[in-house]
Structure 1
């Protein structure tokens, strides 16, 4: 055969013969596949996350970096101004030890950024990175116990707040006798000590004064610290996500992983100085990493809303007035905007050219609804997915006008540049097309692990025994279609995503267990008036007296609202005599999906002006049920 086909290399034929011989001996079946180590498909980034911003600030100082709000007034910052503000603020932040710079030499100091959503947050995170710190986004409106737990677990060296008199701040007497402002024992750096904001001179509006001119005009060289660039493999930010033990997990994300994702997306869709993104995501949600560093790293402009609360009328106003080109949110927020426009027979602005949707399942009908509202024939709808543990996004799918036949959901797509995604069986072998398996993410984006939690890191971050590649297991189930695209089928545990936030139902259950009367709790995601919502089903240690049930439901809900972030607080609490069990003795969550909800309201669904919830009379209950039947909704 070799003589007849001289183009076939001899080693190929010998290899085939050796394989056939091993198969005949039965050895190949037992042996694991040959190692195939991960190799980047293109050059990996070497610059830290904030380096492109510094370059743009030097080359195009007068370009607009941020357009946001200060109260009711618009605020605009150029790259030069943002550069000056963040550099000046970095004076007050910790600096890494000489031993703490570079890969493997130790973590940089961690600074909690506890500023309200807006331009201050951007100044804060840039100051952290420029001082050689990693930033920890922490919502100052979270319950006090949760803030304390995260700060203590993170080992934060400082907390950046608006001022030393912020609601979360406390006073602590130092050995010297001086009063030091702190939060949960962590020293506070007050933003207002470094950035002055006041009324504009000679007119309406706001002026960010003093600090910018001091630096841009020279100032004292001692007040102008040198930027710490560090290593691309260093910790860049620490984001805490929901955890099954009742304590959030701190995800350790490095510069190179985030930069790799950003560079891929920006080059893929030619993002540049003419682009503007509407930054709606919370700083503690990693979509904000792209909003900030993706746009500021290519000379674009970050448009920030007046309020963090969902307001589609405000969004469309900004989209039109500021000629926004990029939308980047969870699908639910885009759906809110689309519904708002449909009801008013209005359109999206022609400037919008990219719609990024990620973090949750995209309704099959949503892409066509978006396109129906746009006159821009070049509008691209992009589905992305991944995990916080894998640098924002790992996979991508450009949604076509019509989906391929046979798809019951928007495809998960294919891995992004320098990233990998596998569907593996229990033995970590690739599943053939159509076979359900576990999703594993590999490549440049995989995080450094969970902060100060070696056990959980070992459970979710593994080294493949054959390839040697570091992989992260997000807990998703999926399968590969014959076309090569990945389809996500759900979660392998009871961790869920609601509104784009990853939520561990066990954390909600453990919080409910803190109530004196609760025996056990089972939380599920249930359809509530056509959308997913969290419901907590509880059993009590003793039978409630007549008329007590609603007060107990409210008190359980109040404990959870005081301890959990708003997006984790159940929309309903239901008292049952027992939790149904499956055949293997575990809580039967599927059976709970069929349990009807009580018509009595919780505070979030109706309350008196004094905040106290009142019992409904029999007549009110009957009337509510009648209207619910007419409107075909749950009462």
Structure 2
């Protein structure tokens, strides 16, 4: 077995426990043998369409068993995949496709099942997978087939590309290798799921949390259960626990807070719950722990550049009291976290600096952007190890536990999504009639940001309507990045040093 390769780890499960349940997607249930055999069959078709080592294949499918098989098939070809969100505006999808330059797009749009057949999505050739994962794939599994010669090389080759907000307005691709994912789920770590684990898959496929839910389960022999709804609600979680025996889940901090407020009993039946993506609310954590003492709660921290989590912390009631909130914990396997000052030197315990991450979880870099890669992925001045500068401030306490204390730039998290205000400003500034604009995150009552506001000025003859402006942005930005509030102002106020006065702008929202 190729050590560290995602698809080889799944194939190992198919050989050792072929009849174990791998995927539940509504009425579709795939055991490991069927999952692996179907991916072999689809990989043969994708290889014929040009997928192979050194290529990046975009996949535009709804969250489903078919999506999982398609991604596994891409990896078997030795290619990397980029799972795109079907809810993205067409303009964003085309921008991402242009960056990837893949040989074929895997999608249901404008394609013929199982063929390229000259069908296209814009200028990109299309390969549409079979409509269902049944029939010949199941027969092949029963007969012990699985003849596709899957890639068996280095785990340092690209496995996936995650797209996040970019300051220039264009989506930023983070190229992550196989090892960045598989290093997370070793038997001695906090993410050692294993056979018997039944995990809900609810994160968008373009997130790195999707890798936690899908590959964390399938590489360790557990069962992945699809949440059909685009927007997760407490009723959905409760239903999957009751009907599919889901016992493990991941939620953004915002969703965790919401669920704790409106339906605190919806978690009953879970064994483990992972939360994160934003600073945790100690009040909600304390309320959850009091109501569910038998559920293990974990705080996971990490930028997408270090794939899913860099640190994990098992949360206890005592963690609600520290000065900087609930700790982010200790490094996961294959990961090292350092706190560096402005000169690149290690900060002593208790002293705040920039959190920098190293180890097997690091991305290979930013797609097509060597300058940004060189700026954010640096070498430690003392030992030359490769590090990613997170832009997060933090400290390590005397017990070796890490704490997050804030950001060094304008990047924020809203509802679990990483937002670069500059991306929204770049798109808005390109619209006709807009003269100046600024995107401002709106603080919520829990200390996080819960909304984004866009303030703008426009030429007198244009007088751009805020409703129409927001609609225009929705055609260019993913839904999570569209400002919740759009307001035209006569001028953008400035501070004494000439910078935009964001506090004054925010004050107008309460007038």
Q: Taking structure 2 as the reference length, what is the TM-score of the superposition?
A: 0.92
State the superposition RMSD in angstroms.
Answer: 2.6
Q: 2: distance between equivalents of 1:93 and 1:179? A: 13
How far does the alpha carbon of each residue in 1:226-281 deviate from its partner, in whole angstroms, 9 at most, with x for none? 111221111111111110011111101011121111226x7446522111011110
Q: Deviation of residue 359 (structure 1)? A: 1.4
Match among 84, 92, 96 for residue 138 of structure 1: 84
Cα gap change, 1:521/1:120 in structure 2, threshold over 3 Å: closer, same or farther?
same
Q: Deviation of residue 347 (structure 1)? A: 5.3
- Which residue matches 2:180? 257
How far does the alpha carbon of each residue in 1:309-335 deviate from its partner, in whole angstroms, 9 at most, with x for none? 222212211122222111112122222
Aligned ranges 1:158-177 → 2 under 5 Å: 158-162=104-108, 164-165=110-111
Q: 2: distance between equivalents of 1:594 and 1:413? A: 36
- Does the 8 Å contact 1:95/1:131 carry over to 2? no
Q: 1: distance between equivalents of 2:85 and 2:192? A: 33
- Which residue matches 1:321? 243
| Structure 2 SS opposite 1:46 | coil
- Does the 8 Å contact 1:525/1:535 carry over to 2? yes
How far does the alpha carbon of each residue in 1:456-494 deviate from its partner, in whole angstroms, 9 at most, with x for none? 101101112321010101211223334432222222111
- Which residue matches 1:584? 497
Match among 226, 234, 248 for residue 312 of structure 1: 234
| Structure 2 SS opposite 1:519 | strand
| Structure 2 SS opposite 1:525 | strand
Cα gap change, 1:48/1:419 in structure 2, threshold over 3 Å: closer, same or farther?
same
Match among 114, 118, 122 for residue 180 of structure 1: 118
Match among 199, 205, 216 for residue 141 of structure 2: 216
- Which residue matches 1:384? 300
Aligned ranges 1:19-418 → 2 under 5 Å: 46-69=3-26, 74-94=27-47, 108-162=54-108, 164-165=110-111, 180-191=118-129, 195-197=130-132, 208-213=133-138, 215-216=140-141, 224-263=147-186, 267-268=189-190, 270-342=192-264, 346=265, 348-350=267-269, 352-374=270-292, 377-403=293-319, 405-418=321-334
| Alignment of 1:573 onto 2:486 | yes
User: Unaligned stretches of 5+ in structure 1?
Assistant: 1-44, 102-107, 170-177, 198-207, 599-635
Match among 458, 468, 472 for residue 555 of structure 1: 468
| Structure 2 SS opposite 1:458 | helix
- Does the 8 Å contact 2:235/2:266 carry over to 1? no
Q: Deviation of residue 572 (structure 1)? A: 0.6
Q: Across the two proteins, how many residue pairs are aligned to each other?
A: 506
Q: 2: distance between equivalents of 1:561 and 1:420? A: 39
| Alignment of 1:536 onto 2:454 | yes
- Which residue matches 1:614? none
| Structure 2 SS opposite 1:310 | coil
Q: 2: distance between equivalents of 1:583 and 1:61? A: 68
User: Unaligned stretches of 5+ in structure 2?
Assistant: none
How far does the alpha carbon of each residue in 1:282-333 deviate from its partner, in whole angstroms, 9 at most, with x for none? 1101011121111111211001112222222122111222221111121222
Q: 1: distance between equivalents of 2:478 and 2:266? A: 34
Q: 2: distance between equivalents of 1:179 and 1:294? A: 35
Q: 2: distance between equivalents of 1:494 and 1:59? A: 48
- Does the 8 Å contact 1:420/1:441 carry over to 2? yes
- Does the 8 Å contact 2:286/2:320 carry over to 1? no
Q: 2: distance between equivalents of 1:61 and 1:146? A: 40
Q: Taking structure 1 as the reference length, what is the TM-score of the superposition?
A: 0.75
| Structure 2 SS opposite 1:479 | strand
| Structure 2 SS opposite 1:298 | coil
Q: Deviation of residue 597 (structure 1)? A: 5.7
How far does the alpha carbon of each residue in 1:411-453 deviate from its partner, in whole angstroms, 9 at most, with x for none? 1222222211122111101223443322211122111111111
- Which residue matches 1:607? none
- Does the 8 Å contact 2:186/2:192 carry over to 1? no
